[in-house]
């Protein structure tokens, strides 16, 4: 299919550029104290929400390619949908399909894993142990464990990363204990050696992203591979001890642990002859540990001698860099993203965010593709994130992002730009409501500064989000007990067009089931182009003749 775009007959955009502002983790929630967006002083957003060019979009579940509407959205699938202009089966849905059909066990990669087991090697599973369904799902792990038992793999070790982010902040035992029980049952029944070997909180152990802090990966390597770390008789004992030592400790920040046997030796370090499966399906926090296991010329930290192991990811986490080389489930083939069309039309664009979301406005936006589509036409700017717990500095790098975007807008070199403010999501994940309020207020102030710049240069801005988070910081049960919420919400997200030159050339379309995948066609319309035929409908329709 041709990447050529057709001009709209009745609208050709404005003289200034179009800017897409993604307020990560800012959704539309209840008007009460649990909603940091509601609590925050947001004069700019308050005014925008009164606009005739305002609507709400669905940003979770089937609207972003996930299995059901009980599944929360996330930044990965959200940016995929925004950049692709249509919905692709994503993460959990792809893996569920492969497990249901058994296709995951009929691949050359699984044959290699089987070979390792048949030759006496241990099969290791590393990944996020929860049912959050953002990075992984415990039921998917259990199906693979059962398959190992069915195939008489004698030694299986699990290295769980504790969540507390996409699920309740102190729910680790809800997943660790059933896993321990399952592994013991298999071991007792078949005389196998199935056990939890090591683990730790996801924000402290293994699951770093965007090269933010390689020490996180190093801690995981030392625990999983070398069996080095604080030692306990079981994973559940480790969690209970950490809770007792710090009543305010949350799962995502728990330190690493190693499980030992009665002789005081680690029960499952990764050794020569073993196979390792990283069972997360989402890519951003899986790439670095995959590099550590699969790169021969690895320099990020001293990992010692690389064991002779076979490593596989649940999916290919980076399609361009082919990380990892071996994976179990094919990722969605996302083609013809909006950036490809714009590059084909020689439209100059930019993308800006800080480290925490830089990959989202580049890699995920471009359909899980690393690097530039056309470096001569695109400029990507990454502003390094601070290495600090986000509730301690909720402003993050919003001011620096804003300054960079304004500079690029006023340069006159670009017709379209996109930026992501991570504050609502990253601070929302901490569960600290007052910090989240500051985060939202910071974003609101920066949005106001950007809108002033857009107005000054005769452009248009689109303001939206990829999913909710700060809009639901806690819940209250029927007995009045407050439960902190660190996961994404299922709430809709705002979508506003800020167009100072608006003269009723277009209006909001009356669409059913509006979601993030409708944004790409809308952006193309605002740039003066018709949407590609198979893109999901635009959120606007032209008042005069002309296709949208």
The continuous run of DSSP H or E covering 177 comes out as helix 172-190
What secondary structure letter does DSSP report for 258? E
Query: Pick from 520, 536, 522, 493: which is nearest to 74 by CA?
Result: 493
Helix (H) / strand (E) containing 76: helix 75-84
Pairing assessment for the beta strands 493-498 and 460-464 based on DSSP bridges: antiparallel
Strand partners, 7: 529
**Per-position DSSP letters for 466-481, written without gaps between them:** SSBSTT--EEE-TT--
Q: Are 300 and 288 in contact (CB under 8 A)?
A: yes
Q: Which helix (H) or strand (E) holds 475?
A: strand 474-476
Residue 506 tokens read as: 């277009």
Q: Which listed residue (75, 136, 236, 353) is catalytic?
A: 75
Q: With H, G, I as helix, E, B as strand and everything else as coil, classify residue 203.
A: coil
**Rounded Cα–Cα distance for residues 324 and 337 (Å):** 23
CA torsion angle for 472, 478, 481, 485 (degrees, to 10)?
A: -20
Q: What is the largest CA-CA distance in the chain?
A: 80
Residue 444 in contact with residue 46, Cβ under 8 Å? Answer: no
Nearest to 150 by CA among 190, 91, 197: 190
> For 356, what's the count of Cα atoms within 13 Å in the CB-facing half-sphere?
22
**Residue 364 DSSP label:** I
Q: In what order do the strands lie in the sheet with 416-421?
A: 54-57, 493-498, 460-464, 18-23, 416-421, 349-354, 378-383
Q: Is residue 489 among the annotated active site residues?
A: no
How far apart CA 349 and CA 17 sit, in angstroms, is 9
Q: Which two tokens stand for residue 489?
A: 């919400």
Q: Which of 361, 338, 281 is nearest to 517 (CA)?
A: 338
Q: Which of 39, 44, 32 is nearest to 496 (CA)?
A: 44
Angle of CA points 520, 492, 92, to nearest 5°? 75
Q: What gap in Å lies between CA 494 and CA 44, rounded to an integer?
A: 13
Tell me if residue 313 falls in helix, strand or coil. strand
Three-state DSSP class for 149? helix
Looking at the DSSP bridge assignments, the partners of residue 482 are 476
- Alpha-carbon distance of 360 to 76, in angstroms, equals 7
| Half-sphere exposure for 495 (CA within 13 Å, toward CB) | 23
Q: Hey, what are 511's tokens?
A: 């669409």
What are the catalytic residues? 75
């Amino acid at each position: 299919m041709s990447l050529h775009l057709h001009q709209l007959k009745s609208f050709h955009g404005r003289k200034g550029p179009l800017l897409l502002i993604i307020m990560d983790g800012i959704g539309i929630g209840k008007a009460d104290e649990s909603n940091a967006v509601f609590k925050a002083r947001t004069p700019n957003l308050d005014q925008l929400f009164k606009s005739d060019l305002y609507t709400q979009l669905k940003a979770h579940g089937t609207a972003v390619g996930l299995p059901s509407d009980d599944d929360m959205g996330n930044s990965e699938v959200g940016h995929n949908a925004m950049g692709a202009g249509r919905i692709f089966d994503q993460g959990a849905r792809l893996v569920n399909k492969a497990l249901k059909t058994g296709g995951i066990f009929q691949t050359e990669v699984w044959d290699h894993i089987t070979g390792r087991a048949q030759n006496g090697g241990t099969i290791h599973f590393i990944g996020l142990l929860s049912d959050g369904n953002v990075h992984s799902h415990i039921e998917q792990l259990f199906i693979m464990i059962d398959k190992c038992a069915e195939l008489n793999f004698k030694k299986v070790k699990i290295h769980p990363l504790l969540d507390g982010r996409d699920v309740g902040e102190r729910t680790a035992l809800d997943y660790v204990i059933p896993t321990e029980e399952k592994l013991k049952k298999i071991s007792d029944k078949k005389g196998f050696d199935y056990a939890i070997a090591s683990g730790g909180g996801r924000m402290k152990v293994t699951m770093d992203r965007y090269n933010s802090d390689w020490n996180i990966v190093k801690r995981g390597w030392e625990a999983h591979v070398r069996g080095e770390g604080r030692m306990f008789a079981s994973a559940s004992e480790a969690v209970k001890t950490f809770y007792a030592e710090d009543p305010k400790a949350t799962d995502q920040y728990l330190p690493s642990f190693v499980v030992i046997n009665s002789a005081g030796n680690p029960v499952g370090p990764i050794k020569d002859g073993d196979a390792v499966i990283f069972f997360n399906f989402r890519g951003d926090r899986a790439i670095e540990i995959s590099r550590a296991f699969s790169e021969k010329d690895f320099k990020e930290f001293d990992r010692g001698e690389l064991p002779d192991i076979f490593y596989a990811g649940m999916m290919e986490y980076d399609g361009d860099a082919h990380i990892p080389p071996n994976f179990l489930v094919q990722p969605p083939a996302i083609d013809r993203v909006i950036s490809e069309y714009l590059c084909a039309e020689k439209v100059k664009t930019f993308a800006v965010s800080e480290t925490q979301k830089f990959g989202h406005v580049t890699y995920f936006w471009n359909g899980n593709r690393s690097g530039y589509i056309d470096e001569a036409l695109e400029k990507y700017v990454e502003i390094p994130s601070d290495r600090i717990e986000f509730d301690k500095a909720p402003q993050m790098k919003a001011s620096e992002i804003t300054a960079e975007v304004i500079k690029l807008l006023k340069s006159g070199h670009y017709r379209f730009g996109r930026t992501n403010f991570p504050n609502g999501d990253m601070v929302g994940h901490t569960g600290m409501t007052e910090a989240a309020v500051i985060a939202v207020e910071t974003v609101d102030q920066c949005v106001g500064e950007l809108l002033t710049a857009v107005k000054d240069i005769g452009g248009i801005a689109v303001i939206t989000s990829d999913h909710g988070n700060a809009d639901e910081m806690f819940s209250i049960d029927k007995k009045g007990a407050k439960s902190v919420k660190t996961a994404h919400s299922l709430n809709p997200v705002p979508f506003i067009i800020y167009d100072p030159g608006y003269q009723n050339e277009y209006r909001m379309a009356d669409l059913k089931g509006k979601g993030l995948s409708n944004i790409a066609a809308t952006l193309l319309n605002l740039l003066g182009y018709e949407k590609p035929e198979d893109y999901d409908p635009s959120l606007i329709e032209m008042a005069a003749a002309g296709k949208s």
